[in-house]
Chain A
Amino acid sequence: MASVPSMVPGRTPGLRVRVLPTGGARRITLHAIVHHRRAFLGAILTAIVLLIGVVGAFWTPYDPMTFNAGPAFSPPDLAHPIGTDVYGRDILSRVMAGAQVSLLVSAGAVGGSLVAGTIIGLLAGYLGGFVDVLLTRVVDIMLAIPGLVLALGIVTLLSPSALSVTVALIAVYTWQFARIVRSSVVAVRHRPYVEAAKGLGSSGVSIVFRDIFPSVLPVLIVQVATAFAWGILDEASIGFLGLGVQPPSPSWGSLLIEGRQYLYDAPWLPIGAGAVVVIAVLGVNLLGDGLRDIVDPRSGGTRS
């Protein structure tokens, strides 16, 4: 934020918006992803996790809500790969069924904050002046509250549910998107091709969406991946604290509270459910990291 110094640095240390000589960042193509080791591995892991979410919505080995699918507290075996919980419910089935809730919450949070943040960032960056100062200040204030604390505050206002968690996370992530979009817009606003479009009589809306937005897009895609990883982690964290999706309905967050209650009787529940979260987040992080590398090769990945 060039004109107005910002108080609080962003949450992602690796992601600083850099102005590339071409005006926009490198393009993200399927070819680039396949040929980038980390991006490819991340894309595969992410795809597997998404597949689990889709499959889990329609089919699970056992009914995730049915008691006594097996004996209670049965350790992992062939019939129940992650064991069973206190009611003899199959944990793998619950993890699969919970995947859709967690992934949808995360996707909703990213989608919502992407739209809101992009609008705020474009307005601030393109209009400049008073609007910019005002919006930048709002962004600074929101980023001055640690993310999880803000999310907890908002979840407290609403009733604990998947929708509340989504709303809370949108309120947390929006500002980071706004900041990134704004600085990208400021960086290209006075580029000759934007001035040319203005000179040719394009309307403001057209300039913003046809001339400025495409140059912001690659950076945004990277941020989407990063935020998606946060979303999965934060949904699980809020669930773990008992303020998210409530048991018995399964989500990765709600499974973790049950895991904490029966830590000593069924350690495979928190370990197994947590491991799935780790794999999902790792996949998205790898993908995001790889994409960042593709977009900006100088950002300092292991490949350069």
Chain B
Amino acid sequence: MEKVISGNYAAAYGAKLARPKFIAFYPITPQTTIVEKLADFSSSGELEAKFIPVESEHSAMAACIGAANTGVRTFTATSSQGLALMHELLFWAAGARLPIVMSNVHRALAPPTNLGADQTDSFAQRDTGWIQLECESAQEVLDSILQAYRIAEEVMLPCMVCHDAFYLSHTYEPVDIPEAELVDSYLPPYVPPFKLDSENRLTFYASSTRCPATQYEFRYHAQQAMERVPAVLRKADEHFYELFGRRYGIVEEYYLDGAELVIVAAGTMVSTVRRVVEEFRQRGERVGLLRIRMFRPFPKEEIRHLLKGVPKVAVFDRNISLGEGGILSQSIKSALYHTDQKPVVFGFIVGLCGVDITQDIVGDIVDYTLQQDTPEEDIIWTEVIR
């Protein structure tokens, strides 16, 4: 059934279709309409999940951890400050190998208070052990939440599905809402490999201070699980395509053939970049686009393979790791370190804190990058230059 809905409602429909048994919710703009919609589904009886209206995002994640330990599918949603408040428990959820799925609506971190889109919130959580998916459309938000459960429950790691504030959270688009029965065949009920109950007397997360090697090994296994994600994602994506006719991949290639310049981007800005790439191609300029859908684990192999031999790469970061630079840009450079025929990587800070990324801005960046042999600066602040 096709409906015109917002990105946030798409997230709520995705969560509903996944049939979680537990949802913890706490409001924060611009995420709030996700949990409002889920509350509607719950009160109308369309969704049977237990709901806890917690008193903070920190408690939202703690409640999900408690519930997930008993072996039920869980969901929550957050944004920006809320995600930052959860930071401690993001490590806990991943370390405990709980396949919690969470929507994160990218929003700038204060100060000052700013509701605009900015990827720093979740990119700054890159070391916590969560799988992270970046969405471009409302349809992809819904579909990715379903895929997220498939992937998370197979590798036993939590997964964050991210979309941009307002450009997607509050923008209405036509979205195909799949039939529940079809989704059930894609995503059967969750069967946990172990669970907390009063029958099997087990201790969960006993202190390892006296036996640190145990925890060292747990970290190794978590990394091994992360390394399985690309293959698991591909499989989940293909199965999704068979049932629903849509697939997204780990990364998406757009006009990469013979490209002299490849723009690397993630999130809603990708749609704008597509248009600009088309225009440049029509003028005979060999410009392409590589969209990062899976940000964690970082798709190093795909990047090495697709960017090998490309003369120039322009990375668009709607985020900043202060003291280092754009997070995507740093990750791309790191991925390319061991390859021959390394591209020249230009790192652009664009659209930070909800600044619009227009076709003009993208066009200017492409012109600049085509003209330059090497970047004048390690971090290029487009708005400051303009």
Chains A and B come from one and the same complex: no
Binding site for B on A (CB under 8 A): none
